[in-house]
Amino acid sequence: MAVNDDEAQILDQWSHRLAHALQILDLDFDRELILDLAGEAARSVTHAAAPITTLMVGYAAGIAAGSGSAVSKASSAAAVEQAAGVAIQLCADGAHGGPASKGWADTAQ
């Protein structure tokens, strides 16, 4: 999802303010990847799927990367990309169908 220069500046300022408020000052993320993921979820599933999808991808990436300062930025970025890739694949199936359509049957859980 492309944004114009004004929107990009607003997003940068907002992200900076939010990161300070949440005390995650060293946060670095691929804004375009997150925006593309949100756009894909909104188009493929429903508009409300965008924030839910990005939240869940961030949460999954956080779990995968671990916590604390021992985790490198590269491993965090890789965890986000991996989780986003899974979500984008699932978006291709839309609101119904796909590997998760049978509940837990096809998962390791």
Read off the pLDDT of residues 4-27 as tens digits, 9 standing for 90 and up.
999 999 999 988 888 888 888 877
Looking at residue 98, its pLDDT comes to: 58
Tell me whether residue 49 is in a domain. yes
How is residue 108 written in tokens?
A: 């390791």
Spatial CA neighbour of 28 closest among 79, 73, 83: 73
How is residue 46 written in tokens?
A: 């429903």
pLDDT, one tens digit per residue, over 49-108 is 999 999 999 888 888 777 554 457 777 778 888 888 888 888 887 766 655 555 545 554
How is residue 86 written in tokens?
A: 């899974």
Tell me whether residue 11 is in a domain. no
In the chain, the number of structural domains is 1
- pTM value is 0.70
Tell me whether residue 36 is in a domain. yes
Looking at residue 101, its pLDDT comes to: 56
Asked if 51 contacts 19 with a C-beta cutoff of 8 angstroms, the reply is no
Tell me whether residue 59 is in a domain. yes
Tell me whether residue 6 is in a domain. no
Domain residues for the domain of 55 are: 28-91
Tell me whether residue 17 is in a domain. no
Tell me whether residue 57 is in a domain. yes
Alpha helices (H) in 45-93, listed in sequence order: 49-65, 73-91
Tell me whether residue 55 is in a domain. yes
Looking at residue 100, its pLDDT comes to: 55
